[in-house]
């Protein structure tokens, strides 16, 4: 909000694909940090890999990540962008935060136009809320695995932006103790495996859950209901929402499993959902795969034990996606221990910027036309 003018609010939710400092949502909001920011560090390593391993000419790269951001249209004069992504979180927690923020904004400014972009996360992820009054290992887990937790506080209106309560700045009230991590937090599985939780209070639970309890049918039911619930919530408030896959297994590959009888209950839910409830990315079904098809800059030699056919430009089934890890579509990092390049879990900073410009921005402009 500037000079008393309330701009439309675009809420961006999702997992680390949205939360990351170089994500499509950060590009949309033009959320620039200092020159030597974390996001630009991602860019430098990715660029260095392209030159040293992919044989790319240094001339094809800009000097700074933000040069990629400037290749698209800046809408920050016309919209406010609020990023509520939670790294490692699934669709349960991500959709809940989106709904909570919408409710808070509607109570404060009932007439403000709101649009939502929700990047779907991994279907096998689970989140649970723990607190110090009911869980004996509450502090122990947080101290050891803070990076796998989220503290979701009440959302309130600060003078110029939506912010979570907290901190000691003049416009933020102190956070009540019962909303601090010492009192409660969400822990996030991050995926279908217990390895993250070895030697932690959750090791036994997560091992039993993913090895002996978890089923694809139950997971599909949950995720389809999260999608249904959030879409109905937004429709009821006349809020346009674009739900799209973060990577290919979060929509198209999740429902085209080839064995319908194993997920019959999920398909019953799918049958009552509108055809347009998720905006798929045809031919790619994910941000990284989309970039591989449309904005490939280099293709490196791959990674030991995970190599394959690189840079053919054709999307293969999900289980063969690792064949493309040498592609410019995926982030890279330098492992100090092994003194080798490795691949990260995200699309590259370049992929995010191009996806924001080419795929997100036109849809935001369509929303603005509806608001007007």
Q: Which residues make Cβ contacts (< 8 Å) with residue 117, sequence separation at least 6?
A: 10, 11, 12, 13, 25, 241, 242, 244, 360, 363, 364
Q: What is the pLDDT of residue 320?
A: 44
In-domain check, residue 1: no
Compare 191 and 237 and report the one with higher pLDDT: 237
Compare 237 and 300 and report the one with higher pLDDT: 237
Q: What is the pLDDT of residue 193?
A: 82
> Given pLDDT bands bounded at 50, 70 and 90, which one contains residue 184?
very high
Is pLDDT at 160 greater than 50 in this prediction? Answer: no
State both tokens at 41.
């560090």
In-domain check, residue 2: no
Compare 255 and 57 and report the one with higher pLDDT: 57
Same domain assignment for residues 241 and 330: yes
Task: Look at 87-91, 124-128, 214-218 and tell me which has the smallest mean pLDDT.
Answer: 214-218
Q: What is the pLDDT of residue 315?
A: 39
Same domain assignment for residues 245 and 117: yes
Same domain assignment for residues 297 and 361: yes
Could you tell me the strand order of the sheet in which 149-150 lies?
127-131, 184-188, 149-150
Q: What is the pLDDT of residue 152?
A: 83
Number of domains in the chain: 2
Same domain assignment for residues 199 and 71: no
Q: What is the pLDDT of residue 302?
A: 65
Compare 316 and 127 and report the one with higher pLDDT: 127
User: Per mean pLDDT, which of 259-263, 265-269, 321-325 is the most reliable?
Assistant: 265-269
Compare 178 and 87 and report the one with higher pLDDT: 87
Nearest to 40 by CA among 349, 296, 352, 342: 349
Residue 273's φ and ψ, nearest 5 degrees, are -85, 145
> Given pLDDT bands bounded at 50, 70 and 90, which one contains residue 284?
confident
Same domain assignment for residues 261 and 192: no
Same domain assignment for residues 39 and 21: yes
Nearest to 352 by CA among 86, 92, 51, 31: 31
Same domain assignment for residues 117 and 132: no
Q: Which residues make Cβ contacts (< 8 Å) with residue 66, sequence separation at least 6?
A: 32, 40
Same domain assignment for residues 16 and 135: no
Is pLDDT at 233 greater than 50 in this prediction? Answer: yes
Residue pair 74/31 in contact by the 8 Å Cβ criterion: no
What percent of the chain stands above pLDDT 90? Answer: 64
Same domain assignment for residues 94 and 240: yes
- Give 133: exposed, middle or buried? Use CB within 10 Å, 0-12, 13-18, 19+: exposed
Same domain assignment for residues 288 and 361: yes
Where does 244-357 have alpha helices with state H? 252-255, 264-272, 287-294, 349-355
- CA dist., res. 244 & res. 121, Å (int): 9
Is pLDDT at 142 greater than 80 in this prediction? Answer: yes
In-domain check, residue 160: yes
What percent of the chain stands above pLDDT 70? Answer: 85
Same domain assignment for residues 114 and 132: no
- CA dist., res. 303 & res. 301, Å (int): 7
> Given pLDDT bands bounded at 50, 70 and 90, which one contains residue 248?
confident
In-domain check, residue 3: no
Nearest to 350 by CA among 365, 330, 370: 330
Nearest to 104 by CA among 161, 151, 150: 161
- CA dist., res. 185 & res. 149, Å (int): 6
> Given pLDDT bands bounded at 50, 70 and 90, which one contains residue 164?
low
Give pLDDT tens digits for 185-217.
Answer: 999 999 888 888 888 889 999 999 999 999 888
- Average model confidence (pLDDT) across the chain: 86
User: Residue 341's domain spans which residues?
Assistant: 9-124+216-371
Mean pLDDT for 332-350 is 91
In b/e form, how buried is each residue of 220-258, taking b as 16+ CB within 10 angstroms?
bbbbbbbbbebbebbeeeebbbbbbbbbbbbbbbbbeee
Q: What is the pLDDT of residue 300?
A: 86
In-domain check, residue 282: yes
Q: DSSP letter for 329, please.
A: T
Q: What is the pLDDT of residue 163?
A: 55
Last residue within a domain, chosen from 149, 183, 213: 213
Q: What is the pLDDT of residue 111?
A: 92
Is pLDDT at 86 greater than 90 in this prediction? Answer: yes
Compare 155 and 105 and report the one with higher pLDDT: 105
Q: What is the pLDDT of residue 262?
A: 66
Mean pLDDT for 21-29 is 97
- Give 325: exposed, middle or buried? Use CB within 10 Å, 0-12, 13-18, 19+: buried
Last residue within a domain, chosen from 195, 213, 231: 213
Last residue within a domain, chosen from 190, 213, 236: 213
Q: What are the angstrom distances between the C-alpha of 15 and each of 84, 112, 119, 300, 369?
A: 9, 26, 7, 27, 28
In-domain check, residue 48: yes
Mean pLDDT for 327-350 is 92
Q: What is the pLDDT of residue 261?
A: 62
> Given pLDDT bands bounded at 50, 70 and 90, which one contains residue 179?
confident
- Give 191: exposed, middle or buried? Use CB within 10 Å, 0-12, 13-18, 19+: middle
In-domain check, residue 250: yes
In-domain check, residue 205: yes
Residue pair 81/10 in contact by the 8 Å Cβ criterion: yes
How many CA within 13 A on the CB side of residue 370? 13
Same domain assignment for residues 49 and 163: no
Q: DSSP letter for 171, please.
A: T
């Amino acid at each position: 909000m500037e000079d008393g003018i309330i701009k439309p609010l675009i809420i961006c939710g999702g997992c680390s694909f949205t939360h990351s400092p170089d994500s499509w949502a950060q590009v949309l909001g033009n959320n620039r940090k200092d020159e030597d920011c974390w996001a630009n560090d991602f860019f430098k390593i990715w660029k260095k890999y392209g030159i040293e391993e992919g044989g790319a000419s240094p001339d094809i790269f800009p000097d700074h990540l933000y040069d990629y951001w400037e290749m698209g249209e800046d809408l920050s004069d016309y919209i406010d962008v609020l990023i509520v992504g939670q790294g490692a979180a699934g669709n349960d927690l991500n959709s809940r935060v989106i709904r909570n923020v919408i409710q808070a904004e509607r109570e404060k400014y009932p007439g403000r136009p709101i649009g939502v972009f929700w990047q779907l996360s991994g279907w096998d992820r689970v989140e649970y809320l723990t607190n110090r009054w009911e869980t004996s290992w509450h502090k122990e887990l947080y101290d050891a695995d803070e990076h796998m937790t989220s503290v979701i506080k009440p959302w309130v209106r600060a003078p110029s932006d939506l912010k979570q309560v907290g901190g000691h700045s003049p416009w933020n009230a102190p956070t009540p103790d019962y909303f601090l991590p010492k009192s409660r937090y969400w822990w996030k599985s991050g995926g279908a495996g217990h390895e993250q939780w070895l030697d932690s209070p959750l090791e036994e639970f997560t091992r039993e859950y993913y090895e002996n309890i978890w089923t694809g049918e139950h997971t599909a039911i949950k995720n389809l209901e999260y999608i249904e619930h959030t879409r109905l919530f937004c429709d009821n408030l006349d809020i346009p929402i674009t739900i799209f896959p973060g990577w290919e297994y979060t929509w198209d590959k999740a429902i085209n499993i080839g064995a319908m009888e194993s997920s019959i209950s999920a398909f019953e839910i799918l049958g009552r959902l509108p055809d347009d409830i998720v905006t798929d990315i045809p031919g790619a079904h994910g941000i990284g795969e989309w970039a591989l098809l449309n904005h490939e800059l280099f293709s490196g030699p791959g990674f030991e034990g995970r190599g394959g056919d690189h840079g053919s430009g054709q999307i293969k089934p999900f289980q063969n996606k690792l064949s493309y890890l040498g592609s410019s579509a995926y982030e890279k990092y330098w492992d100090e221990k092994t003194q080798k390049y490795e691949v990260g879990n995200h699309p590259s900073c370049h992929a995010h910027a191009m996806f924001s410009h080419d795929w997100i921005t036109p849809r935001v402009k369509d929303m603005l036309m509806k608001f007007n």
